[in-house]
Structure 1
């Protein structure tokens, strides 16, 4: 009888303290310690759950670190963290320094794309390339009136109503091109963080602290090579935003997919994985 060797299961769930805030992340290690590293940054109202289909494709060649930004997913909903895009970018640089990651690539989805670009402006020598998926662009900061209202005690109920008025399933219908992709697993994955009441208080701070997206002048300071991936049917951040970004960024190329909306990592993970590997010279 041949004895079977059991391969121990790797615990991918990790946590560390950065900027006095508990940060949850997932680490999917490659068997080759010298393999390059990818950091994944999710979008607004999301978490590293949104990369659940892309990670299995990319971890074949890379070490993967997927972060839940403070205020989202399983990271702390801190009432002291400063939730600006620039500070999120600084947090990513702090993450790279703390784990001593060597020249990682960064994937940023939606709002996460702005965070990735801020990180690359803060520490261009530490980041090799950016892959921005349906990247947020040219959004203005909230109006002074809305910011003032965010300090009112009842504003948390406004946020709760805004998030829940359509429900998770209806919100997902706006981010995917093919509604058949929406199942219970997807709905539950996006709904889970909102079971924590502190999430809504964190969202108030995200609204309050969020500066506008990078200006064309700031975008010109993003010196690392950038791959922009876009769904032609993106109703959250329409394709013209990507077409404008590819002109404002110094070293960027744009790939458009005819069969996708805003949630490309969920909709076409294999297709974008191939494009990412090609861009990173791993095909």
Structure 2
């Protein structure tokens, strides 16, 4: 079934939030998909066709990534990004949405659950990050130095897309030119992204504490790759312990990039979690 797609931007706090809407013709639950750090909506390309068969889906590029704005006036803290997406939900008059967050998208999703639990029906963390401290004072001070954005650019160029992709997937034979091009594209748009990453280093705060997590009563599904080298399974176990209404499922032969590596299996677990009423 080919669904109508709307692609556009919403201006919030003097920054543009890029999104895509896949509206299911029937009254179905609404999913909001959030990607990870240095990524974009591209990471859901294999999972999206499965989800849109049964659900209405909003794909969002988290500022400053993908096609969202890279304003120097915007606060790129997790708390403020969460607030921005909550504002988007209110502007679109959505209620009881289901969040799916990969990696950093999970951090933002948990922030959203803490700020506005009334809007979030359920939360799915796909190797969601957690327990990270804010960047060091040295890095925050360094980010004010002229040409800091050039250092960020050179660091990312040195690490290289091939090295990063090999880090995030278990079966490295799946890496092809489509993946390389898709994950490189957001960083070929000019200097603005690197300047925004410098500001993100200044704005980033500590993650939610254990006490914060204990207060989140949202039903959470945690899906984790057994061989995740970026956000290891130990983080998933710890989140499962600290989130009172959570369940953890571990995927074998899987690394960090679950939506790319095991889209069918991920969809099956998500669908079961959403439709289960208990």
Answer whether TM exceeds 0.5 for this pair: yes
In structure 2, relative to structure 1, the CA distance for the partners of 1:9 and 1:219 (3 Å cut) is: closer
CA distance in 1, matches of 2:178, 2:11: 29
Q: Could you tell me which residue of structure 1 aligns to residue 265 of structure 2?
A: 271
Q: Could you tell me which residue of structure 2 aligns to residue 3 of structure 1?
A: none
1:83 aligns with 2:76: yes
CA distance in 1, matches of 2:154, 2:95: 43
The answer to whether the 8 Å contact 2:35/2:61 transfers is: yes
Q: Could you tell me which residue of structure 1 aligns to residue 216 of structure 2?
A: 222
> What is the CA deviation profile of residues 15-36 of structure 1, one whole-angstrom value per residue up to 9, with x for unaligned ones?
111122111111111111x111
SS of the counterpart of 1:138?
coil
Q: Could you tell me which residue of structure 2 aligns to residue 248 of structure 1?
A: 242
In structure 2, relative to structure 1, the CA distance for the partners of 1:142 and 1:223 (3 Å cut) is: same
CA distance in 2, matches of 1:180, 1:282: 35
For structure 2, list consecutive stretches of 5 or more residues without a partner in the other structure: none
Match of 1:143 among 130, 136, 140: 136
For structure 1, list consecutive stretches of 5 or more residues without a partner in the other structure: 1-6
Report the aligned-residue RMSD. Answer: 1.5
1:69 aligns with 2:77: no
TM-score when scaled to structure 2? 0.96
Larger C-alpha radius of gyration, 1 or 2?
1
Larger displacement relative to structure 2 (157-166 or 75-84): 157-166
**Alignment size in residue pairs:** 276
1:34-45 mapped onto 2 (5 Å cutoff)? 34-45=27-38
Match of 1:154 among 135, 147, 170: 147
How far the C-alpha of 1:9 sits from its partner, in A, is 7.6
> What is the CA deviation profile of residues 164-214 of structure 1, one whole-angstrom value per residue up to 9, with x for unaligned ones?
112112211100001111111111111011112211011111111111111
Q: Could you tell me which residue of structure 1 aligns to residue 169 of structure 2?
A: 176
Q: Could you tell me which residue of structure 1 aligns to residue 119 of structure 2?
A: 126
TM-score when scaled to structure 1? 0.95
SS of the counterpart of 2:275?
coil
1:163-202 mapped onto 2 (5 Å cutoff)? 163-196=156-189, 197-202=191-196
CA distance in 2, matches of 1:71, 1:198: 9
